[in-house]
């Protein structure tokens, strides 16, 4: 696990120790434009944007909500660190993760990666009735694959076309302006969800 991901996790724990609040994650947040917008939507939560690219995060424009935090980390590492501490995530947004369209890169897609276990675990650790997951992409196949993987993992939801007004993120803005169809999976873990054994 990269040192910067562990350092980001420690920063997050310190923030939660100072002001305990339930969590919203904006994984693969890029410049964090969506993180700031989501902070406005979830005023009672700490909204955490995560991206591995410091270049993207540095392009974040300062905004008014003070209930969000941007972290440079690998999402899968941060999910695992949070999951091992039994920390839950009430709402988890993944907006336009890299699609990895070649079949040989299937394991790099969110639902093909080892991080998928922890993604479901974080939702299951959330407060009763919470644990929502939303993934958006301009590639319908990606969203449908993700939805099937979620269903098999005990997280029920739906795949729909979205027409976001206004767009939540820079990629959403760009895709909408170029006339792309945009797709979303939205779902929630079933109440009776029990974890399979920890993959280690
Ligand atoms: C297509 S961009 C989408 C950015 C933003 N969500 C948006 O909609 O504008 C994908 C982002 O995922 C980040 N990324 C890719 N793999 C990652 C990983 N394993 N952990 C953290 N960030 C990752 C990239 O640095 C990039 O900023």
- Report DSSP letters for 90-123, one per residue: SEEEEES-----SGGGGGGSGGGSTHHHHHHHHH
> What is d(CA 43, CA 51) in angstroms, rounded to the nearest whole number?
22
| Probe target for ligand 1 pocket from 75, 97, 174, 184, with the most ligand atoms within 8 Å of CB | 97
At 115-124, the pLDDT tens digits run: 999 999 999 9
CA 115 to ligand 1: nearest atom: 19
CA 99 to ligand 1: nearest atom: 1
Q: Which two tokens stand for residue 146?
A: 């993700």
What does pLDDT average to over the chain? 94
Q: Is the pLDDT of residue 200 over 60?
A: no
Q: Ligand 1 pocket, 49 CB below 6 A?
A: no
The pLDDT value recorded for residue 10 is 98
Q: Ligand 1 pocket, 28 CB below 6 A?
A: yes
CA 26 to ligand 1: nearest atom: 6
Q: Ligand 1 pocket, 96 CB below 6 A?
A: yes
Mean pLDDT calculated for residue range 68-95: 98
> What is d(CA 54, CA 30) in angstroms, rounded to the nearest whole number?
9
The pLDDT value recorded for residue 189 is 86
- pTM for the structure as a whole: 0.96
At 37-54, the pLDDT tens digits run: 999 999 999 999 999 999
Give the Å distance between the CA of 30 and the centre of ligand 1.
Answer: 5
Which band of pLDDT confidence, cut at 50, 70 and 90, is reported for residue 199? low
């Amino acid at each position: 696990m990269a040192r910067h991901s562990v350092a980001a996790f420690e920063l997050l724990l310190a923030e939660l120790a100072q002001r305990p609040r339930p969590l919203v994650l904006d994984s693969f947040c890029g410049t964090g434009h969506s993180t700031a917008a989501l902070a406005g939507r979830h005023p009672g939560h700490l909204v955490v944007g995560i991206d591995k690219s410091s270049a993207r995060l540095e392009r974040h424009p300062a905004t008014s909500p003070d209930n969000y935090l941007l972290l440079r980390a690998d999402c899968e590492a941060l999910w695992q660190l949070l999951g091992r501490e039994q920390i839950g995530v009430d709402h988890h947004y993944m907006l336009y993760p890299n699609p990895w369209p070649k079949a040989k890169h299937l394991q790099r897609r969110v639902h093909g990666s080892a991080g998928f276990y922890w993604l479901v675990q974080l939702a299951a650790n959330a407060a009763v009735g919470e644990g929502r997951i939303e993934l958006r992409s301009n590639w319908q196949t990606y969203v449908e694959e993700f939805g099937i993987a979620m269903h098999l993992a005990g997280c029920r939801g739906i795949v729909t076309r979205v027409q976001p007004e206004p767009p939540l993120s820079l990629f959403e803005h760009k895709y909408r302006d170029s006339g792309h169809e945009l797709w979303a999976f939205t779902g929630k873990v079933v109440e009776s969800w029990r974890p399979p054994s920890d993959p280690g």
